[in-house]
C-alpha cells in the first residue's frame, strides 16, 4: 500500500505549506495510519518517517512563503480567507514564545497552519526555526500515529470517533467551499457594478 505512505506525507506537509490545516486536521489521518500499521497494512516506522518528514517539509515551505511574501501574504486572497484575527493570534504567539512557538504551535490546530509563515515573515533565523520545527514534528507524529497504533484491538471506539470526525471534516469542507464560492461571486458582481 505505497500510496498510503504518500497520503500520510502529503497531508502532513499540506497542513502548513498550503494552509490546509485550517480546514482538515492532520491528526485524523495520523490516527488512521497508526491503526493501519497495527493491522499490518502499513509499516509503523515508514508511517512515522512520512508523517514527521512531511510535517517538517510542509512547515519549511510555509516558512519560505512567509519570508518571501511577507506582508503581501496577509492582504492576499489566502490572507483574507484566513482572517486578520488568526494571523494576529499566530503573531502574538510567536512574539511571546519565540522559537518555542514553532514547537508548541505544532499542537495547536489553528496556530500550526500559520506559525511557519509568520516565523518566516518575522525573520526568525531558519536554524532556530528548523530545530524547534523538527522536534515538534517528530513528537506530533509519534503521538498521533502512536495513539492509533496502541489502540489496536480496541480501535472500534477510535475508528468510530475518527469516522465521525472525518464526516464532520468533509461537511466543513463543503460548507467552506460553498461560502467562499458565493462570496467570490458576490464580490465579482460588486466589482463589476462599481467598474
Residue 130: C-alpha distances to residues 67, 109, 127 (Å):
14, 19, 5
Q: What is the pLDDT of residue 193?
A: 46
Q: Which residues contact 137 (CB under 8 A, 6 or more apart)?
A: 12, 51, 52, 53, 55, 56, 59, 106
Q: What is the pLDDT of residue 158?
A: 54
How many Cα atoms occupy the beta-carbon half-sphere of 67 within 13 Å? 15
Q: Rounded to whole angstroms, how far apart are CA atoms 112 and 14?
A: 11
**pTM > 0.85:** no
Residues of the chain with pLDDT under 50: 167, 170, 192-195
Q: Rounded to whole angstroms, how far apart are CA atoms 111 and 140?
A: 14
- Evaluate whether 121 touches 67 at the Cβ level (below 8 Å): yes
Amino acid at each position: 500500500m505505497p500510496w498510503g505512505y504518500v497520503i500520510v506525507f502529503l497531508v502532513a506537509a499540506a497542513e502548513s505549506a498550503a494552509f490546509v490545516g485550517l480546514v482538515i486536521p492532520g491528526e485524523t489521518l495520523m490516527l488512521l495510519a497508526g491503526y493501519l500499521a497495527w493491522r499490518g497494512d502499513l509499516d509503523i516506522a515508514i508511517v512515522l518517517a512520512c508523517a514527521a518528514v512531511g510535517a517538517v517539509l510542509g512547515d519549511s515551505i510555509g516558512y519560505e512563503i512567509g519570508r518571501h511574501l511577507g506582508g503581501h501574504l496577509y492582504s492576499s486572497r489566502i490572507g483574507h480567507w484566513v482572517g486578520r484575527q488568526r494571523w494576529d493570534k499566530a503573531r502574538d504567539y510567536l512574539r511571546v514564545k519565540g522559537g518555542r512557538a514553532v514547537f508548541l504551535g505544532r499542537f495547536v490546530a489553528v496556530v500550526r497552519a500559520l506559525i511557519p509563515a509568520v516565523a518566516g515573515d518575522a525573520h526568525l533565523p531558519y536554524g532556530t526555526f528548523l530545530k524547534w520545527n523538527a522536534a515538534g514534528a517528530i513528537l506530533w507524529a509519534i503521538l498521533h500515529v502512536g495513539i492509533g497504533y496502541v489502540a489496536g484491538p480496541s480501535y472500534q471506539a477510535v475508528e468510530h470517533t475518527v469516522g465521525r470526525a472525518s464526516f464532520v471534516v468533509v461537511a466543513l469542507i463543503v460548507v467552506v467551499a460553498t461560502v467562499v464560492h458565493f462570496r467570490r461571486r458576490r464580490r465579482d458582481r460588486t466589482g463589476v457594478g462599481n467598474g
